[in-house]
Structure 1
Amino acid sequence: MSLIFTGNIRKLISEKDLTIAEFAEAINEKLSRVNDVLSGKQRPPFDMVEKILTTFDIDANWLITGKNSSSKNPDEQKNYSEEHEYDYVPMFDVEVSAGNGAAAYGATEPAMHLAFRKDWLKSRGLFAKDLNCVVARGDSMEPTINSKDTLLVDTSKNNPRDGHIYVIRSGDVLWVKRVQRQIDGSLLLISDNSTYPPMPLMLADHPDIQVIGQVVQVSKDFN
């Protein structure tokens, strides 16, 4: 969505004969935030999309896809709209450790929102209200998860099942690990990188331990 979105924003700015600074002022946004979106440094946040649609009274399908839904007959428009609708998932400015632990969720407000197709979420049995995104840091889950990968976490799936990957909080530390339940009731936190030994975690001895949710999708970062 980002390339089409930023291209259409530049086209809108040109058609309205505005500078980028004037555009930012019109939608009541910081110039630095608009520049980050236009440069591709930041994905378009949901609140910015809403401001643009409201301020300039433009078609949402055109802004996101470059195609005007009003040019279609009602049946085509309905199908097109449904196919291209997006849900927006909060992205928190925190890192989870694919190593020996990272500071836990300190952010209460999302840094931005990432767009996911509604039909994709539906096909996976996922609901936007249960999802959030965080960034992995470290190499203990390689090759499955690399440092700086974005993790889509389903917070409704917080009852660990063997072999699945979860984000787990212990006090002020967050891990992303594969888990295996043990007979004594503990969890074995397993790294996909064999150079890291498994870590037993006795749940009964650590009431502060919380399974945040299951990692259901990984977006790779190649920078």
Structure 2
Amino acid sequence: MTNKINDPLSQKGTGSIAERVDEAIKPHSIRLFASKIDVSEGTLRRILKGEDPKLSVTVKIAEESGVLLNWLVTGEGPKHPGEDHKQVSLEPVVVRCDEFTEEFALIPGYHISASTGHGELNRGEQVKRHLAFRKKWLNFRGLSPDKLAVVFAHGDSMEPTIHSNNSLLVNTADTKLTDGSIFVLRFGDELYAKRLQKRFDGDIRLISDNKEYEDQIVKADEISQLNIIGKVIWIGKDLY
């Protein structure tokens, strides 16, 4: 029987190790991330269900996902290298507009949805809202704010990774197909958020995380109809 160590941080509002691992490995699938850190899918699933990981596995998860080991283990301190960590205060803070824009980038959220929606992401679309992202985090990830956009998920084909109405941060500068990553793409008249896998025969597989949906195959002679808009690099979701 595996010994479990109580995670006292779960009582302090910082969540459990399992919750932080779940947050760290996204948007990768459990199977893909397990292969990246050279552990079995079953091992990673047990960790996500509450089994305490070995230190060597914890280090691999932190290194592969780019988070700090201290944050992953304790939930305290900054999540990513270069981030400042401040204690949460319930007191209202007044921030001047120039101070806000110096620290945050406002990324446009377009009034289109991915998975079952129609249309193509472009700057002519209606901006529904803006989401603020810390510039330090964007710089750490090597992201350019003017190449980012937010679209909205629709449907359940990518559950449990993506739920309907989740916000998807898309890097339109990254359109190179990498196996297992989630991309927003247009095929024909449809806009999708799917994992992509290139096959040896030149076809491309569109993979749904929800296994109630069959994978779709884009034949090599149909690839000209496939437009990869950008890679999904962050998912924003409501907890209830």
Give the aligned length: 147
Distance 1:154 1:68 in 2: 29
The gaps in structure 2 that reach 5 residues or longer are 1-91
SS at structure 1 position matched to 2:127: coil
Structure 1 partner of 2:218: 201
User: Does structure 1 residue 102 correspond to structure 2 residue 117?
Assistant: yes
Q: CA deviation at 1:205?
A: 2.0
2:159 to 136, 142, 155: 142
Structure 2 partner of 1:168: 185
Q: CA deviation at 1:140?
A: 1.1
> How does the TM-score come out when normalised to structure 1?
0.60
Q: CA deviation at 1:116?
A: 0.9
Distance 2:93 2:103 in 1: 10
User: What residue identity is the alignment partner of 1:66?
Assistant: V
Q: CA deviation at 1:213?
A: 0.5
The gaps in structure 1 that reach 5 residues or longer are 1-63, 70-80
User: What residue identity is the alignment partner of 1:135?
Assistant: F
Overall identity of the aligned pairs, in %:
37
Moved more, 180-189 or 104-113: 104-113
Distance 1:182 1:92, change over 3 A: same
Structure 2 partner of 1:184: 201
> How does the TM-score come out when normalised to structure 2?
0.56
Does the 8 Å contact 2:111/2:125 carry over to 1?
Answer: no
- The answer to which structure has the higher helix fraction is 1
Q: CA deviation at 1:109?
A: 3.8
CA RMSD of aligned residues (A): 2.6
Distance 1:150 1:211, change over 3 A: same
Q: CA deviation at 1:153?
A: 0.3
Note the alpha carbon deviations across 1:67-97, whole angstroms, 9 max, x for none.
569xxxxxxxxxxx59961111111000101
Q: After the TM superposition, which parts of structure 1 deviate over 6 Å for at least 4 consecutive aligned residues?
A: none
